[in-house]
């Protein structure tokens, strides 16, 4: 067993339990570590706090993305592929472990890792900090202490070697991903794979919304991104219409029209969703707005209004028959 100190890292000791292979991986921002880990207390029993194998999933960290437990990136950077190593870390490096562990446990349980933090003011989140929902993690927060991490490094991937989550992309990567996702969505629509197409459009919208959040609303940068968002949202809504998700279409088109109240296509899709859920008055109002805003769509609007009238008449006839049947049944009692 080899023992060494990580150079220039105060409060860390390393033991190599099983040697790895090759050279130390060459890292860059966006490289991804995949590894298993155990977290133990530095007590006589070496009490196990967390074990990723028991949770059933390896851990992943993206280099340069400010993982809350920064020391883990340093530890992994010292390892070769296939290496198993034990790290003793002093309290200066372990103060955030309880919060990191809480998030990982909730993900393993199929829960939202941010549960209890959303829509809370800063004062509320201070109280959350003192209650993780797990007794052993609450103890770690009350009494910070050194911890032992046993890590097994499986692989290190360059940013180009794996599909990166939206949050892990740079601004340039997000902008480059949008037209690709848009094109993939269009291709899936042609194959009538609407659920998969909707997922592509949604991912592209998320990329753009993340970028918009850093711009001032209604200024040039924000508007340029909004011009890319709008057609993607409309495409997404068309997929949802095909899938019968009418209330989702109502939600997204209404949100879009609050910003762009002259968008005829958004009114048209909202009108079709209203018609599908029997909101006759709202559907007719939206169809009329479409014809007013875009006379080239007048023929399509006329066709939709005719179909709406026929569907409503048929529904009224069926409703009358059903009510008459109920009335006759009640008289026969």
Domain residue ranges in the chain: 2-155, 169-326
| pLDDT, tens only, 91-128 | 999 988 988 888 888 777 665 444 544 333 433 343 34
Number of H helices, E strands in the chain: 13, 7
Q: Which is more confident, 158 or 220? A: 220
CA 86 – CA 97 distance, rounded (Å): 16
- Out of 31-45, 57-71, 204-218, 268-282, least confident range: 57-71
Q: Span 19-33, mean pLDDT?
A: 86
The fraction of the chain above a pLDDT of 90, given in percent, is: 53
Q: May I ask the CATH class of domain 2-155?
A: alpha beta
Q: Is the predicted pLDDT of residue 212 greater than 70, yes or no? A: yes
Q: Which is more confident, 132 or 256? A: 256
Joined together, the tokens standing for residue 153 give: 């490094």
Assign 5 to helix, strand or coil.
Answer: coil
pLDDT band at 290; cut points 50, 70, 90: very high
Q: Is the predicted pLDDT of residue 58 greater than 90, yes or no? A: no
Q: Is the predicted pLDDT of residue 296 greater than 50, yes or no? A: yes
**DSSP letters along 16-74, please?**
EEE--BSSPPP--TT-EEEEEEEEEESSTT--EEEEHHHHTS-EEEETTS--SSHHHHH
Q: Span 84-91, mean pLDDT?
A: 94
Contact between 41 and 147 under an 8 Å Cβ cutoff? The reply is yes
Q: Span 133-140, mean pLDDT?
A: 89
**pLDDT given for residue 285 in this prediction:** 96
CA 325 – CA 35 distance, rounded (Å): 67
Give me the long-range contacts of 270-278 (CB less than 8 A, separation at least 24): 271/304, 272/241, 272/304, 273/237, 273/241, 273/246, 273/247, 273/249, 274/250, 275/304, 275/307, 275/308, 275/311, 276/241, 276/244, 276/246, 277/246, 277/247, 277/250, 278/312, 278/315
CA 277 – CA 270 distance, rounded (Å): 11
Cα 317 to chain centroid, rounded: 46
Joined together, the tokens standing for residue 167 give: 């949050």
Q: Is the predicted pLDDT of residue 332 greater than 60, yes or no? A: no
Contact between 87 and 59 under an 8 Å Cβ cutoff? The reply is no
CA 202 – CA 188 distance, rounded (Å): 13
What is the number of alpha carbons within 13 Å of residue 238 lying toward its C-beta?
A: 18
Q: Which is more confident, 159 or 50? A: 50
**pLDDT given for residue 170 in this prediction:** 73
- Per CATH, 2-155 and 169-326 having the same topology is answered no
Compute CA distances 328 → 86, 179, 317, 321, whole Å.
80, 61, 17, 11
| pLDDT, tens only, 192-209 | 999 999 999 998 998 898
Contacts of 161 (CB under 8 A, 6+ apart): none
- Assigned CATH topology for domain 169-326: 1.25.40
CA 33 – CA 158 distance, rounded (Å): 9
Nearest CA to 225 out of 239, 211, 240, 236 is that of: 211
**pLDDT given for residue 149 in this prediction:** 96
Q: Is the predicted pLDDT of residue 1 greater than 80, yes or no? A: no
**pLDDT given for residue 160 in this prediction:** 64
What is the number of alpha carbons within 13 Å of residue 121 lying toward its C-beta?
A: 1
Q: Is the predicted pLDDT of residue 146 greater than 90, yes or no? A: yes
**pLDDT given for residue 95 in this prediction:** 87
């Amino acid at each position: 067993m080899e023992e060494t100190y990580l150079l220039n890292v105060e409060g860390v000791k390393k033991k190599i339990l099983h040697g790895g292979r090759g050279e130390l991986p060459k890292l860059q921002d966006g490289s991804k570590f995949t590894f298993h880990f155990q977290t133990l207390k530095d007590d006589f029993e070496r009490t196990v706090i967390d074990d990723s194998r028991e949770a059933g999933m390896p851990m992943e960290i993206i280099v340069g993305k400010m993982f809350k437990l920064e020391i883990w990136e340093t530890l992994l950077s010292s390892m070769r592929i296939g290496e198993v190593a034990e790290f003793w870390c002093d309290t200066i490096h372990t103060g955030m472990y309880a919060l990191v562990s809480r998030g990982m446990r909730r993900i393993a349980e199929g829960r939202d890792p941010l549960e209890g933090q959303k829509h809370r003011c800063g004062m509320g989140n201070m109280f959350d900090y003192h209650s993780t929902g797990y007794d052993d993690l609450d103890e770690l927060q009350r009494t910070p202490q050194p911890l032992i991490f046993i890590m097994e490094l499986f692989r290190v991937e360059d940013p180009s070697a794996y599909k990166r989550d939206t949050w892990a992309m740079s601004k340039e990567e997000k902008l480059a991903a949008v037209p690709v996702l848009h094109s993939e969505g269009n291709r899936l629509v042609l194959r009538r794979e609407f659920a998969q197409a909707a997922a592509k459009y949604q991912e592209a919208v998320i990329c753009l919304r993340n970028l918009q959040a850093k711009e001032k609303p209604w200024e040039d940068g924000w508007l340029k991104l909004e011009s890319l968002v709008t057609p993607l949202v409309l495409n997404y809504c068309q997929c949802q219409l095909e899938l019968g998700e009418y209330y989702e279409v109502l939600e997204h088109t209404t949100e879009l029209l609050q910003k762009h109240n002259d968008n005829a296509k958004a009114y048209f899709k909202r009108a079709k969703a209203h018609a599908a859920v029997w909101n006759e008055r709202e559907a007719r109002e939206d169809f009329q707005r479409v014809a007013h805003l875009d006379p080239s769509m007048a023929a399509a609007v006329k066709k939709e209004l005719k179909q709406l009238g026929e569907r409503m008449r048929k529904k009224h006839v069926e409703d009358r028959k059903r009510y008459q049947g109920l009335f006759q049944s009640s008289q026969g009692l």
